[in-house]
Structure 1
């Protein structure tokens, strides 16, 4: 069995030789030497296990299998070029940012500041409680609750995040419980158990219910303090406090769009007055 890999570059060269009918003419359009083209066509035939050309003094004539390959490649060629075409000049670079529910909620109010005036970035917020893999480029920048230990990652320290209970004046004196795999949700499970006015699986819904006057929500203080209708219903839960880090890959931090995004995200996350 022939396990030689066929490369797309060789298929592109095949298209040139097939359409030009020979190596000399194809050499001009591909800017490759005729000798190089001859070697690549031979390697392509060996890799595919079939004869694609009849070689004679007048040039390269396609065999039956060569014509079949030309027809198939001609059919898919436009689609491949569309998929691999470089971005148009002037297209704003995309930067993917992962953050938890509360950090994302805080950041979206600064969208004009983050994307630039006039806009020079496209930001994609990936709101997730799970830690996404920056090393494998699931996202470009991530907010983390602890300093990363991976050698390929670099970080900038932000403020310390604290949690406290918040509710509307006169609302029921019962907790709104979040059921999720987060430290704050686990604290609610230990503290509240089944004695909750309502259970939700999205942290954001606990804020919505608190604003509706339905009960007490456990919120980061930078979120709770930003809601003028809410009042703190107790002290800060010390065991839930943690530092926050802005993280990216060391190979990406020198990219202009990543540097701009990091600086703007850092400024948007300045310690609020709480």
Structure 2
């Protein structure tokens, strides 16, 4: 790779596009326009003599060469971040945590316990229903619904999660449907199809509508039972019950800031459940 032709800035933009899955979401992260990113990615491909993306209407799909490049650049990015970290007690290392909507709500509610008092880590929460790639360092710590199978990942079992229907006592007996690629959303889709009082793309909006008395929301019991005014309708749904695991990379879990954060997360969930 000729460093006179290929700059780190272009490679950094490549990482943003690769991780976001397209130009538009990467533009929101980088502050560059989609058109600018498109030109930079095309120029990068030409400079490197490689095809990095398969372009289609749904976004930019990585080629096999690009996936390997993303992995290698992720490692370089982590090394640069650690090497260039300023000395001094006032510097708080960044720990990125990914979790679904409902777990993120719990984490944000207990933020002061996770960050430390006084705070000694800088937390970045990535709330996403999709599973972010810990092996590529998209995040450092992730919450998962099963034990990790990748040997490069370490897991710690946190809790048993159950789901049930919740609504206000006076709410109509009609479901609020979440349109998402989650087991609970797919279960409800199979059950009711299009027969819903409303469809929402964000799981959090189903809770908002239930609190407003508009219908019945399918919620994890650790969320539904905390909501003043909501009551559980019926038994928990056995086929949606699952374990919850805290997962990190084997190489990262012994870093002081990661180790501290993991222990605090475990304590928060031990008390909360």
TM-score (norm 1): 0.68
In structure 2, the partner of 1:255 is: 255
**How many Å separate the matches in 1 of 2:253 and 2:163?**
31
CA contact (8 A) 1:159 1:271 kept: no
Pick closer, same or farther for the CA change 1:5–1:206 going to 2, 3 Å: same
CA contact (8 A) 1:224 1:230 kept: yes
- Larger-gyration structure (1/2): 1
CA contact (8 A) 1:152 1:249 kept: yes
**How many Å separate the matches in 1 of 2:243 and 2:271?**
12
CA contact (8 A) 1:177 1:198 kept: yes
The alpha-carbon deviation at position 211 of structure 1 amounts to 0.2
> What do the CA deviations read for 1:3-34 (whole angstroms, capped 9, x no partner)?
7989x9xxxxxxxxxxxxxxxxxxxxxxxxxx
The alpha-carbon deviation at position 86 of structure 1 amounts to 3.3
> What do the CA deviations read for 1:85-119 (whole angstroms, capped 9, x no partner)?
53352210100000000000111000010101011
SS of the aligned residue for 1:257 comes to helix
**How many Å separate the matches in 2 of 1:189 and 1:4?**
51
4+ long deviations beyond 4 Å = 2-6
Pick closer, same or farther for the CA change 1:4–1:172 going to 2, 3 Å: closer
How does 1:118-129 map onto structure 2 within 5 Å?
118-129=118-129
SS of the aligned residue for 1:254 comes to coil
SS of the aligned residue for 2:197 comes to strand
**How many Å separate the matches in 2 of 1:111 and 1:177?**
29
**Which stretches in structure 1 are left out of the alignment for 5+ residues?**
9-83
**How many Å separate the matches in 2 of 1:186 and 1:192?**
10
In structure 2, the partner of 1:181 is: 181
In structure 2, the partner of 1:86 is: 85
How does 1:1-274 map onto structure 2 within 5 Å?
85-87=84-86, 89=88, 90-270=90-270, 272=272
The alpha-carbon deviation at position 177 of structure 1 amounts to 0.4
**Which stretches in structure 2 are left out of the alignment for 5+ residues?**
8-82
The alpha-carbon deviation at position 169 of structure 1 amounts to 1.5
> What do the CA deviations read for 1:220-260 (whole angstroms, capped 9, x no partner)?
00000011210001110100000010000111111110011
- CA RMSD in angstroms comes to 2.2
Count of matched residue pairs: 197
**How many Å separate the matches in 1 of 2:197 and 2:135?**
41
TM-score (norm 2): 0.68
**How many Å separate the matches in 1 of 2:133 and 2:121?**
22
The alpha-carbon deviation at position 139 of structure 1 amounts to 0.4
**How many Å separate the matches in 1 of 2:172 and 2:184?**
21
